Structure 1
Amino acid sequence: MKALVLPTALPIAMIATLLAAAPAAAQLSPKSDGPIDIAADVAEVAQSACSSTWRGNAEALQGDARLRADVIRAFFEAKPKKPGGASNDCGDLTRLEAEGSVYYVTPDRRVRSDAATYEAKTETIVMTGDVVAVQGQNVLRGSRMVINAETGEGRMVGTAAGPNQTGRPRAVFYPSKKTQSPSK
């Protein structure tokens, strides 16, 4: 499989012609159905495999959501070859994989992990490794978190179960500060 390596200094129009735009159904952001914009220091495109690899300060943006990592791989639906056609046509985005210093950020949530996979069909993000989720002052830790990108709901699991076991999901929640009414 040959890979085309593109420095990000190339015009955006050239990269856009090589990669299919993400479908409206693909949602990194629960509040957006716009395209997913991916950028990095270097982009490697494997048209025959309908995939691309983005290395170095890789970032996928959609609306107000951001997925950052050392490496992001994008996978697209392979369309049937046209009669007499020499190359594959690629369709909609099906999956994003991120590895190394992964961050998923929305206006109300920040999640850090070692690796993540976004599945467009189910609109889920699975983050693994040392997962730390922060919402306001609240902090949740575990080893695997599944986030529904459409609803924003998530589920955290750990590497152990049972009382006094290390590796169980752990959280610290802060109560809302109540304002006191002035006395009369």
Structure 2
Amino acid sequence: MTFSLRKLVLVAAFGALATGAFAQQAKVAFGGLKQDTTLPVEVQADQLSVNNADGTAIFSGNVLVGQGEMRISAAEVKVKYGADGKSIDQLLATGGVTISNLADAAEAREAIYTIASGIVVMTGDVLLTQGPSAIAGQKLTIDLKAGTGTMEGRVSTTFVPGGN
């Protein structure tokens, strides 16, 4: 079952008051992060290194990846190509990763975006902001096709009373 962030925040707040602890996992709606994963992927960076032997390319320095309205920024992005050598299979972003789309944004240490499935897994001190609300954890899995996600690992949230 997927909750809207507004409902999740209220449930988490009341649950914390009742139990004195935060949830270990939370499901949230990511309407702003819903994405057409068939759109072209554009990459800008300071440097590019290509390895034809293992089918990878590494973009480094101020990397910005765009697909439709979604943007991924990171220090480095490794592109893994599919078996055909032309299609992109995965993007592995490291070094202060930020993913944004419209009003939603998520930050983490690392992210893996599997293009075909539309799944992004962000790990390491993850922070998701949706307007004035925020939710934090250690792992965020986003399904870009469905616009949903799950935050795991000592989940905590902040909300603005009357603003959600």
- Quickly name the TM-score band, shorter chain normalised: 0.7 to 0.9
2:40 paired residue number: 35
Give SS of 1:145's match. strand
1:67 paired residue number: 72
2:160 paired residue number: 174
* Structure 1 residues 90-129: Cα deviation after superposition (integer angstroms, max 9, x where no partner): 1311100000010001002110000000012321000000
For residue 176 of structure 1, report the CA deviation from its aligned partner.
5.0
Q: Which one scores higher on RCO, CA 8 angstroms, separation ≥ 6? A: 2
* Structure 1 residues 146-170: Cα deviation after superposition (integer angstroms, max 9, x where no partner): 0011122110011xxxxxxxxx100
Residues 112, 68 of structure 1: alpha-carbon distance in 2 compared, 3 angstrom cutoff: same
1:128 maps to 2:114: no
Q: What amino acid is the match of 2:90?
A: R
Unmatched tracts of structure 1, length 5 or more: 1-27, 80-89, 159-167, 179-184
1:51 maps to 2:56: yes
Q: How many residues align?
A: 132
Whether the 8 Å contact between 2:132 and 2:163 is mirrored in structure 1 is no
For residue 34 of structure 1, report the CA deviation from its aligned partner.
1.9
After TM superposition, the structure 1 stretch with the greater mean CA deviation from structure 2, 102-111 or 31-40, is: 31-40
Per the normalisation by structure 1, the TM-score is: 0.67
* Structure 1 residues 15-41: Cα deviation after superposition (integer angstroms, max 9, x where no partner): xxxxxxxxxxxxx86146320001100
Aligned identity (percent) is 27
Between the aligned partners of 2:102 and 2:54, the Cα distance in structure 1 is 34
Between the aligned partners of 2:133 and 2:36, the Cα distance in structure 1 is 22
Give SS of 1:55's match. strand
1:7 paired residue number: none
Whether the 8 Å contact between 1:39 and 1:60 is mirrored in structure 2 is yes
Normalized per residue, the structure richer in helix is 2
2:135 paired residue number: 140
Q: What amino acid is the match of 1:91?
A: K
Whether the 8 Å contact between 2:70 and 2:99 is mirrored in structure 1 is yes
Between the aligned partners of 1:47 and 1:31, the Cα distance in structure 2 is 28
Per the normalisation by structure 2, the TM-score is: 0.75
Residue 92 of structure 1: which of 87, 95, 102 is its match? 87
Give SS of 2:53's match. helix
Give SS of 1:48's match. coil
Q: What amino acid is the match of 2:49?
A: E
